[in-house]
Structure 1
Amino acid sequence: MRMIVTTIAILGISLGALAQQQEGDHDALRGNVPLLEERTPEPLYEVENNDLRRPRAYPMQPPTIPHKIDNYQVDLNANRCMSCHSRQRVGTSQAPMISVTHYMDREGNFLAELSPRRYFCNQCHVPQTDSPLAVENTFVDVVELLRQRRETQE
């Protein structure tokens, strides 16, 4: 008996919610496209591939990846990034070596190999595209903040 009452209650709530959903309603994540229409996808922008290092906006910011990483294997079996950026390979590849912090465990002890918690590079490091801003960027670099502060104190 209890199961029948529960089923009827769930069915009633579901139908009530469905009745309120109108064809012209919009989902905030879809923009102003009605739910029953297909949205035109955003264009895919070309990934930068110039091997120039970008400046960092704040201390400890992970550097961005200045080249394409399409088809790079980074999984439990292999890490393609380490074929150039590992301590042993930077001499031949001329790529910057990963930070020594990538060879530390969470207690601050240095390891002979890459720390497992730093193995998946894409968690922090990302390639860049030359695309228009999706939202306005109001970030102010710490150097600019200090300069503004000095000017107001004078």
Structure 2
Amino acid sequence: MKLPVIVGGLAFVSTLGVAGLALAQSSGPIQSLRGADLDETRPAASNYQHLEGREVRNYRQQPPLIPHSMEQYQVDLRTNQCLSCHDWTNAGERGAPTLSMTHYLDRDGNQLDKVAGTRWFCSQCHVPQANAPALVENEFQPSNVSR
């Protein structure tokens, strides 16, 4: 009794596999999202100039943009060069903005004397501001309440 069910199931699955393969082959060649053949070498996008000065935030609690280049900054598991200016112990003498106190809270909300591991990699939230075109169309309108 089990053998006919297993054979029927295998026949059904193999039929679906062949049909799927035929459909995939008939859909045409693979198309690249970047508008070029897959094996074609394209030049990298040009670098854009960093914008100096602080940009206005578009919504409440938006991470501030970085108003300077980060090209030579080392941020890894052991070193975070952003903290040489922005840690609360250095910011005053360097004239840099201090990190928000939320950066010194651990997952449980306990206050720490050093930056929490969950906030260590600055560029996961903060990005350098640059005069670059938008990658996709954006119709975002900032809230008047957040300004």
Given the two structures, how large is their TM-score scaled by the length of structure 2? 0.75
Deviation at 1:114, TM superposition (A): 0.8
Pairs within 5 Å for 1:11-50: 16=22, 19-20=25-26, 22-23=28-29, 25-27=30-32, 29-31=33-35, 33=36, 35-38=37-40, 40-48=42-50, 50=52
> Judging changes above 3 Å, is the alpha-carbon distance between structure 1 residues 80 and 17 closer, same or farther for their aligned structure 2 residues?
farther
Pairs within 5 Å for 1:46-65: 46-48=48-50, 50=52, 52-65=53-66
Deviation at 1:53, TM superposition (A): 1.2
In structure 2, the partner of 1:125 is 126
Deviation at 1:106, TM superposition (A): 2.3
User: 2-side partners of 1:22 and 1:83: how far apart?
Assistant: 54
Paired AA for residue 34 in structure 2: R
Unaligned runs of 5+ in 1: 147-154
Paired AA for residue 76 in structure 1: L
Corresponding residue SS for 2:103: helix
Paired AA for residue 77 in structure 1: R
Would you say 1:73 and 2:74 are equivalent positions? yes
| Contact 2:51–2:130 (8 Å) recurs in 1 | no
User: 2-side partners of 1:94 and 1:61: how far apart?
Assistant: 22
Query: Percent identical across equivalent pairs?
Result: 39
Unaligned runs of 5+ in 2: 1-9
Aligned pair count reads 135
> Judging changes above 3 Å, is the alpha-carbon distance between structure 1 residues 139 and 36 closer, same or farther for their aligned structure 2 residues?
closer
Q: Deviations over 1:19-64 (max 9, x none)?
A: 44645x423x223x3x4551634522324152x1111111110000
| Contact 1:103–1:114 (8 Å) recurs in 2 | yes
Q: Once superposed, what is the RMSD of the aligned Cα atoms?
A: 2.9
In structure 2, the partner of 1:83 is 84
Asked which structure has the greater RCO (Cα within 8 Å, sep 6+), the reply is 2
> Judging changes above 3 Å, is the alpha-carbon distance between structure 1 residues 77 and 14 closer, same or farther for their aligned structure 2 residues?
farther
User: 2-side partners of 1:137 and 1:17: how far apart?
Assistant: 35
> Judging changes above 3 Å, is the alpha-carbon distance between structure 1 residues 104 and 94 closer, same or farther for their aligned structure 2 residues?
same
